[in-house]
Structure 1
C-alpha cells in the first residue's frame, strides 16, 4: 500500500466523493482495506466503513491490526459490533475479536446477537485457553451421520453448505456425534447410491483434542499436509475444526514473540507503540545487562594486580566469543524444541553432542589465537597461553551452558526462547572474564 494511493483515498474522503471511493474499495481485498485503515484516522476509517457491506466490513475487521482493532471496537456501541460484525463472522474470528474486549463489553455484545446458537458457540469457545486447539477452532463445518445413504448425504451436505463460505472436508459422526471418519467429496460422485457413508468414508481420521497446544496442532497440520484438522472433546465428540490459515497466523505471532524475547524485549511491542510501552518492554533486560556489566567491572577490579595492558586487548574477544557461541547453541536447541526434532528428555544426549562440536570449535579457535600471539608476543609471554586457554574454556562452557539452559527451561514449562537472549550473553560474558582472569593469575 503506497503513500500515493493512501493520499488519494484521503483526498476522496475529504471531498466526500463517495461514488469514487466505493469504486476504489471494490477493487481491494479485505486485507488491503485493513492495511489502508491502519494509516487513516478514526474519523476517516469510519467514513470508509460506512461504504462497506456487512460481510466485507466483518472480513476487514478480522484483518486489522489487533491494537487498532481494539481501540476501534471500544468506540463502537455493542449493538453495532454484534449486528454489523459478529453476525457475519465465523465463530473462530468472532472469538478472536471478543478476546480483545473486557468481560462487560463481551456480555453486552452477546446480548445483541440474534442467533442464539451462534452466541452459545462463542460463549463455549471463550472458555478455552486461546493457545489450545479449542481456543482457535471454528464450529462451522459440514458433518453427516455415518448411516446416511449417498442421496441423503448429498442432500444434507447441500443444506449445510449454504451457510458456509468454504468446505474443506466432510466429517462423519455416529449417533452420539463422535467423530468416525472423513468423507472425501469424490466419493459422492464415484460411490453407488445404495452405499452408506460408513462404508465409503476414510476411517480413523487424524484429529486433536480441545486442549492440544497450538504448536502441536501446527506440527500435525504440517506433517500430514492438512488444510483443516478436526477437533474433538474428551469423549471423541466432534467439537470443531482448525484451518491451516488460522494456525499460520498463530504460529507467526508466536515466532514474533519468541524473536522479541530472544532480542531482549520482555513483552510484545510494535514500532508504532507509544514511548511508555516501548520503554517498558526494553528496560528490564537493559537493567539486567547493566547489573551484569557492573558485576564484570567488580570482577576485573578484583584482578587489578593481574591485569596488564596486553590483557585488556582481549577482553572484548573473550566476552564476545562466549556470547556468540552460547547464542548459537541455545538458538539451535530452541529451534529443535519448537519443531519437535528435539525432545527435552534427551538433555544428556544433546549436551554430549554439543560438547563434541564445542571441542572441535574451541580447539580451532584457541590454536589460531595462539599462533597469532606466538608471533606477536613471543612463546614465553603469559598472554600467549592465557588467551588461548581462556578461549578454549569459554567456548566449551558457553556451548554446554547454551544447550543446557533452554532444555531445562522447556522441562520446567518456561518459554526456552528466553535462553537465546541477553541472559546467555550476560552469563557467558561474566564467566568468560572469570576464566580469563583466573587462568592468567595461575600462569603468572
Structure 2
C-alpha cells in the first residue's frame, strides 16, 4: 500500500517534535521513503524541519534534502553547522553534493569542504564546482564503474565489486586504457559469458556515445533522448573518462530548464519561487511589466493619432481589444511552436519555406476568422463596410503577428539569446502595437476618413 501523508500524520510529527519524543518520532519515520520525508519536512516550520533533519540518519536526510525545493533547502542549510552539512554531503553522490555546496556562500563552502572526512570525495566535489552548472561537467557525477582494457575477466569482476560499493546504480561499465582514456563500454552479458582467462580488450564494445565536460546541458539531453541512453560518459579535453551523467540527472536539468523557460515566457526575468522574498519577486516581474506599460502607452498614442476616425466611426473603438487580443494570441502561438522546435532541434527547412508556410497558414486562419466577423456583423445589423474593414484588418494583423512570432525567436536564437523570451510579453506587446496601428491604418484606407 502506498504511503499517505495526512494532516493527522503532520500534526502527530509536530506534536512529537514539540514534546522532544525522539524515540516515537524515529519509529514513525523509520521506514518512510526519503521523498516522503522531504514532503513532510515541507509541511513543517523551519525549526521543526531542522529538528527532524538533525535527528534522522544522514543517509536518509541527505536524499531527502535533494528532493526539497531549493528555497526550503537553503533555509534549512542556514540552520546547520558546517560539520552537520558535511555529514550530509558524505552520503551524497558527488554531483548532488556539488549542487548543495554551490548554494552556500564562498566562506561557508570552504568551511564545509574542510569538514569532509573523505578527502577523495572532497576533491571530486571541488573539481565539479569548477564547471559551469549547465555543462556536462557540472551535471556529471564522479561515481562510476570502469575497467582497464588489459585486465582479465576474473580480475575485472573483483575490481567491479569494489567500485560498485560507491555507485548507487550501475547503468554501464566503461573501458579505459592505461592513460584513463575512454575506449568503449562493456556488456554485462558478454562479461559473464566470456572465458575467465580472456582480457577485457577481447570482449568490450568500442562504440560508445560520450560528451565533453564543456558540452552544453541542452546538447547532452538531446543526445541522451535521441539514443535512448540511461547514462552517458563524460571525458575531458584529453579524452580521459572523468564522470558520467545519468538519466535522473538529465531529467532534473530538463525540468529546471522548462521551469525557467515557462517563467521567462510569462514575463519573469529570473528563476523565482512563490515563497521567495518580496524584493526578489519584484525584481523578476517588474521589468516586463514596465515593457508592457510602455507598449500600452504606445498603443494609446497610436489611437490618439486616429482620433478623427473614432469620432466618425465610434464602433471601431469597441473592436480595438479584439484586434489587440488576436494579434497577441497569434504571435504567442507562432513563437511557442518555433521555440519548441528550436529546443528539440527539429526545426527543418529554409527561412523561405517557413515564410511561405506561415503566410499560408495565416491566410487560412485570417480568412476563416474574417468570415465569422462578417457573419457577426450581419446578425447584429452592423454596417457591412465596417464589417469588411474589421475582417480585412484582422487578416492583416494575423499575418503580421504570425511572421513576428515566427522570426523573432529564430533571430534571437541566432544571436545567442534564449528564444523563450519571445513567447511572453515581448511578442504580446509588440504585436499589440502593430495590430492597433494596422487596424486604424486599414480602416482609414477603406472607410476614407
Same fold (TM over 0.5): yes
Give the counterpart of 1:17 among 11, 16, 21: 21
Task: Tell me which residue corresponds to 1:432.
Answer: 435
Q: Are residue 45 (structure 1) and residue 49 (structure 2) matched?
A: yes
RMSD: 1.7
Give the counterpart of 1:233 among 232, 236, 247: 236
Change (3 A) 1:432 1:252: same
Give the counterpart of 1:318 among 302, 320, 323: 323
Secondary structure at the aligned position of 1:177 is classed as coil
How far 1:94 sits from its partner (Å)? 0.7
Change (3 A) 1:23 1:190: same
Alignment of 1:35-434 (within 5 A): 35-82=39-86, 84-307=87-310, 308-342=313-347, 346-374=350-378, 376=380, 381-434=384-437
How far 1:162 sits from its partner (Å)? 2.2
Taking the aligned partners of 2:407 and 2:166, their CA distance within structure 1 comes to: 52
Which digits, 9 at most, give the CA deviation of each residue in 1:159-206, with x for residues without a partner?
211222221111000111111111111222211122211221111201
Kept in 2: contact 1:37–1:45 (CA 8 A): yes
**Structure 1 alignment gaps of length 5 or more:** none
How far 1:346 sits from its partner (Å)? 4.1
Kept in 2: contact 1:206–1:230 (CA 8 A): yes
Q: Which moves more between the two structures, 105-114 or 201-210?
A: 105-114
Kept in 2: contact 1:382–1:440 (CA 8 A): no
Which digits, 9 at most, give the CA deviation of each residue in 1:44-64, with x for residues without a partner?
123212331121122122222
Kept in 1: contact 2:49–2:76 (CA 8 A): no
- What TM-score comes out, normalization by structure 1 length? 0.95
Taking the aligned partners of 2:68 and 2:343, their CA distance within structure 1 comes to: 28
- What TM-score comes out, normalization by structure 2 length? 0.94
Taking the aligned partners of 1:349 and 1:148, their CA distance within structure 2 comes to: 56
How far 1:80 sits from its partner (Å)? 2.3
Change (3 A) 1:239 1:346: farther
Taking the aligned partners of 1:36 and 1:354, their CA distance within structure 2 comes to: 50
How far 1:337 sits from its partner (Å)? 0.8
The count of residues paired between Structure 1 and Structure 2 equals 441
Change (3 A) 1:121 1:431: same
Kept in 2: contact 1:377–1:384 (CA 8 A): no
Kept in 2: contact 1:347–1:407 (CA 8 A): no
Taking the aligned partners of 1:136 and 1:75, their CA distance within structure 2 comes to: 27
How far 1:246 sits from its partner (Å)? 0.9
Taking the aligned partners of 1:54 and 1:375, their CA distance within structure 2 comes to: 72
Taking the aligned partners of 1:346 and 1:260, their CA distance within structure 2 comes to: 30
Secondary structure at the aligned position of 1:143 is classed as strand
Taking the aligned partners of 2:333 and 2:56, their CA distance within structure 1 comes to: 49
TM superposition outliers: structure 1 runs of 4+ over 6 Å: none
Which digits, 9 at most, give the CA deviation of each residue in 1:265-309, with x for residues without a partner?
222222222333323322222221121111111110110001222
Taking the aligned partners of 1:370 and 1:30, their CA distance within structure 2 comes to: 61
Kept in 1: contact 2:71–2:273 (CA 8 A): no
Which digits, 9 at most, give the CA deviation of each residue in 1:320-343, with x for residues without a partner?
111110000000001111111116
Change (3 A) 1:338 1:141: same
